[in-house]
């Protein structure tokens, strides 16, 4: 009998424990995911954090705009830039240079460029949505003003992405709704009008300051960055009246001046100078190790081959013989010293650039060069802690001069400011051709400026071999993107 009792006892205990397990677990499966904060948890009532999404767009824009493949594609087509590096490395840049666009529809860098620029667009769209959610909690007019300014900053960076998009592809989708990704293309005119309209909003709401004097966030975009972008888009469209009014407004603010030393302008001392209207900013926080924010290999892409760190890179996007002869003929020695980084020589800053092998570059882009003695000791990456100059006051002056001459006015004053900074003697009654030559020298190796000047002035077919008007202006949309969104066909 004893045994039976214990069996029973055990049996009951077992069943009870089983049922206890079963009943105590209604909330057993309710568990938040570890180590992530859900978007719904962002405290939109905390207006102190309202700048965070804006800062996020700056970060994404600085990285994506400095993507080396994108830079190669925008720079390669002018008569100032050769592919460089080993003859067969990234050969597609040569096809781009020869305007054989049907050979690059599958080029990975073209696709990455598209993805990167639209990534800036979608990030900006998302930031605007966040800002709108903060806005719901705004009660004071000061906060409302901040909201307006922040949205203007984001909209500038988004328009900047569209500016690049229209430089590469001409017609492209204006994507402003992140949920509608299978968009169709907008026309060139629509894209450019969109940027112009956006700039009118930005001009109205961005601070009336030079970027390097924006309190607490030096280098943030301002009203003048927006005026500049407006002028640049107008220039693409040969809308010289708009170019004139926009550049004149910048000049009349008397806030900007050319950085006196053209050579140092592109180096650490020239970071965020009074000449700068927009820069892609990076930093090593002044420490020799640990975290650093760097470009997407923009510097390394253009650094000299076979060098010793930190003066070394992959040797792409090098000056052509044409631009070197052109500078030599003009005796443009300051600009030549700045623009050309000769292999096998010592630089003015004291670095030795190793000689190139036969068939490889004997000269690199000096505007992407940061001397070793200006770098934070301990850092070994070429160009680290330097910024990338995008919009400069020199461009404002030369655009202004050109617009004036085209409007039958005298452009000497803005023109000669730029020219004398380069230690060249002034010219009176400057002509259009002289201005274009000055632009060619001043902006050599910078952001494909030369190519876009040649296209808008109709000189491209004469200067660029293989250029076919009506076909060569814009890159094809990457095959991969058409595969994903047939509306782009």
Partner 1 sequence: MKFKFIFILTLLLVPLHSFAQQRISVAGVVTEKATGDPIIGATVMVKGTTIGTVTDMDGKYMLENVPEDATIVYSYVGMLTVEEPVNGRTTINVELSEDVQALEEVVVIGYGTSKSKDLTAPIAVVKSEDIVKHATASPMSSLQGKVAGVLINNTGQPGAGPDVKIRGVGSFADTQPLYVVDGMFYDNINFLNNSDIQDISILKDASAASIYGVRAANGVVIVTTKKGILNAKPTITYDGYYGVQRATDVLKMANSQQYATMQLEKGSETDKAVLLKSIELYGGDQTNIIPAVSTDWYKELLRTAQMQNHALDITGGSDKVAYSVGLNYLFQEGIMDAVNDYERFNIRAKSDYFVSDWLKIGANLISSNVTKRDPNNSAWESAFVAPPIFPVYDENNTAAYPEKFASPAQVGYSTYFGNPVATAYYNNAKSNIRQFLPTFYAELYLLPQNRLTFKTSYNQNISSESGRIYTPEFRVGGGQENTVSRLNKYNNNIRNWIVDNTLTYMQDFDKHNVTAMLGQSFRSESFRNLWGEATGVPGDFEEYLYLSQGNADGRKTGDGGYTYKGLSYFGRVTYNYARKYYLSATMRADGSSKYQEKWGYFPSFGVSWNVSEEDFMKQQNFIDYLKLRASWGKLGNDKVPASDGFASVTQNLSTSGVFGNGIIPGYTNLIYFSWLRWEVINETNIGLEANMLANRLHLEADYYHRMTENAVIDAPLPMGAGSLLGNYGKILNSGVELTLNWQDKVNNDFSYYVGGNITTINNKIKDLKGLPYLYGGTAEFRTISKVGGPLNAYYGHKVVGVYQNEEEIKNDPVAVANGLNPGDFKYFDANGDKVINDEDRVILGSYIPDFNYGLNAGLMYKNFDFSIVMQGVYGNEIVNQKRGLRRWQGDINYDADMVVNRWRGEGSTNKYPSAKGTINPWNISKFNSFFIEDGSYFRIQNIQAAYTFPKKEMGSFTMPTIRISLTAERPYTYFTSNGFTPEVGGIGFDRQVYPLAATYTVGLRIVY
Q: Residue 455 CB, nearest distance to partner 1 (Å)?
A: 25
- Of 325, 380, 409, 465, the one binding partner 1 (CB under 8 A) is 380
Q: How far, in Å, CA of 99 to CA of 110, rounded?
A: 14
Q: How far, in Å, CA of 111 to CA of 104, rounded?
A: 10
Task: Compare residues 290 and 470 and give the one whose CB is closer to partner 1.
Answer: 290
Nearest to 80 by CA among 363, 467, 440, 404: 440
Q: Which two tokens stand for residue 329?
A: 């003929």
Q: Residue 217 CB, nearest distance to partner 1 (Å)?
A: 4
- Of 181, 241, 432, 468, the one binding partner 1 (CB under 8 A) is 181
Q: How far, in Å, CA of 136 to CA of 189, rounded?
A: 35
For the window 205-244, what string marks contact with partner 1 as x by the rule CB under 8 A? -----------xxxxx------------------------
Q: Residue 327 CB, nearest distance to partner 1 (Å)?
A: 26
DSSP string, 153-189: HHHHHHHHHHHHHHHHHSSB-----TT--SPPPBPHH
CA 341 to chain centre: 23
Q: How far, in Å, CA of 143 to CA of 388, rounded?
A: 32
Nearest to 281 by CA among 56, 63, 50: 63
Is residue 466 a contact point for partner 1 (CB under 8 A)? no
Residues 300-339 contacting partner 1, CB under 8 A: 305-306, 308-309, 312-315
Is residue 147 a contact point for partner 1 (CB under 8 A)? no
Q: Which two tokens stand for residue 227?
A: 């005026």
Q: Residue 51 CB, nearest distance to partner 1 (Å)?
A: 6
Task: Compare residues 119 and 193 and give the one whose CB is closer to partner 1.
Answer: 119
Contact present, 318 and 81 (Cβ < 8 Å): yes
Residue 414 makes CB contacts below 8 A (sequence gap 6+) with 251, 396, 397, 398, 400, 401, 404
For the window 60-99, what string marks contact with partner 1 as x by the rule CB under 8 A? x-xx---------------------xxxxx-xx-------
Is residue 467 a contact point for partner 1 (CB under 8 A)? no
Task: Compare residues 57 and 422 and give the one whose CB is closer to partner 1.
Answer: 57
Quick check: helix, strand or coil at residue 148? helix
Q: How far, in Å, CA of 191 to CA of 186, rounded?
A: 6
Q: Residue 45 CB, nearest distance to partner 1 (Å)?
A: 15
CA 212 to chain centre: 18
Is residue 278 a contact point for partner 1 (CB under 8 A)? no
Nearest to 45 by CA among 151, 139, 127: 139
Nearest to 363 by CA among 329, 321, 402: 321
Task: Compare residues 264 and 416 and give the one whose CB is closer to partner 1.
Answer: 264
Is residue 42 a contact point for partner 1 (CB under 8 A)? yes
Region from 39-47, 236-244, 255-263, 417-425 binding partner 1, contact rule CB under 8 A: 39-47
Q: Residue 84 CB, nearest distance to partner 1 (Å)?
A: 12
Task: Compare residues 121 and 203 and give the one whose CB is closer to partner 1.
Answer: 121
Helix (H) or strand (E) holding 306: none
DSSP string, 387-420: -EEEEEHHHHHHHHHHHHHHTTS--HHHHHHHHH
Region from 69-77, 289-297, 331-339, 429-437 binding partner 1, contact rule CB under 8 A: 289-297
DSSP state of 283: B
Region from 46-54, 235-243, 317-325, 419-427 binding partner 1, contact rule CB under 8 A: 46-54
Is residue 183 a contact point for partner 1 (CB under 8 A)? yes
Is residue 282 a contact point for partner 1 (CB under 8 A)? yes
Instruction: Read off φ and ψ for residue 83, nearest 5 degrees.
Output: -60, -45
Place of tokens 């969109």: 194
Is residue 281 a contact point for partner 1 (CB under 8 A)? yes
Q: Where are the alpha helices (DSSP H) in 170-238?
A: 188-205, 223-236
Task: Compare residues 334 and 482 and give the one whose CB is closer to partner 1.
Answer: 482
Q: How far, in Å, CA of 299 to CA of 295, rounded?
A: 7
Residues 94-113 contacting partner 1, CB under 8 A: 102-103, 105-106, 108, 111
Is residue 137 a contact point for partner 1 (CB under 8 A)? no
Is residue 457 a contact point for partner 1 (CB under 8 A)? no
Region from 58-66, 195-203, 366-374, 429-437 binding partner 1, contact rule CB under 8 A: 58-66
Residues 421-450 contacting partner 1, CB under 8 A: none
Residues 237-276 contacting partner 1, CB under 8 A: 272
- Of 45, 129, 137, 184, the one binding partner 1 (CB under 8 A) is 129
């Amino acid at each position: 009998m004893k045994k039976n009792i214990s069996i029973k006892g055990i049996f009951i205990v077992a069943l009870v424990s089983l049922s206890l397990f079963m009943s105590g677990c209604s909330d057993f499966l309710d568990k938040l995911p570890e180590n992530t904060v859900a978007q719904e948890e962002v405290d939109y009532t905390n207006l102190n954090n309202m700048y965070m999404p804006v800062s996020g767009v700056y970060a994404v824009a600085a990285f994506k705009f400095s993507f080396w493949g994108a830079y190669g594609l925008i720079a390669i087509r002018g008569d100032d830039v050769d592919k460089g590096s080993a003859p067969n490395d990234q050969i597609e840049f040569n096809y781009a240079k020869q305007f054989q666009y049907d050979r690059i529809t599958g080029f990975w860098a073209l696709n990455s460029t598209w993805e990167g620029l639209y990534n800036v667009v979608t990030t900006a769209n998302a930031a605007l949505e966040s800002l709108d959610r903060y806005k719901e909690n705004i009660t004071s007019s000061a906060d409302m003003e901040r909201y307006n300014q922040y949205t203007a900053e984001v909209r500038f960076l988004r328009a900047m992405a569209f500016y690049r998009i229209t430089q590469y592809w001409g017609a492209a989708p204006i994507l402003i709704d992140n949920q509608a990704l299978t968009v169709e293309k907008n026309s060139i005119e629509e894209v450019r009008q969109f940027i112009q309209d956006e700039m009118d909003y930005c001009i109205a709401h961005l601070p009336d300051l030079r970027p390097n004097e924006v309190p607490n966030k030096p280098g943030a975009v301002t009203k003048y960055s927006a005026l500049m972008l407006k002028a640049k888009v107008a220039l693409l469209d040969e809308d010289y009246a708009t170019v004139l009014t926009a550049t004149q407004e910048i000049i009349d603010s008397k806030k900007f001046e050319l950085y006196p030393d053209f050579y140092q302008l592109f180096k650490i001392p020239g970071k965020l100078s009074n000449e700068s209207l927009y820069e892609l900013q990076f930093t090593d926080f002044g420490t020799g190790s640990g975290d650093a924010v760097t470009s997407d290999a923009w510097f390394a892409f253009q650094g000299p081959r076979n060098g010793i760190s930190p003066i070394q890179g992959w040797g792409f996007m090098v000056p052509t013989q044409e631009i070197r002869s052109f500078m030599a003929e003009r005796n443009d020695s300051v600009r030549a010293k700045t623009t050309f980084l000769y292999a096998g020589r010592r630089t003015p800053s004291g670095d030795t650039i190793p000689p190139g092998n036969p068939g490889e570059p004997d000269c690199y882009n000096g505007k992407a060069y940061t001397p070793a003695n200006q770098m934070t000791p301990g850092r070994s990456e070429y160009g680290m802690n330097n910024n990338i100059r995008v919009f400069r006051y020199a461009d404002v002056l030369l655009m202004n001069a050109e617009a004036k001459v085209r409007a039958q006015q005298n452009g000497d004053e803005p023109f000669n400011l730029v020219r004398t900074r380069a230690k060249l003697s002034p010219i009176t009654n400057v002509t259009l051709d002289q201005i274009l030559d000055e632009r060619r020298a001043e902006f050599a190796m910078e952001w494909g400026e030369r190519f876009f000047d040649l296209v808008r002035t109709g000189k491209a077919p004469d200067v660029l071999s293989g250029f076919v008007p009506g076909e060569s202006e814009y890159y094809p949309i990457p095959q991969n993107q058409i595969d994903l969104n047939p509306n782009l066909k």
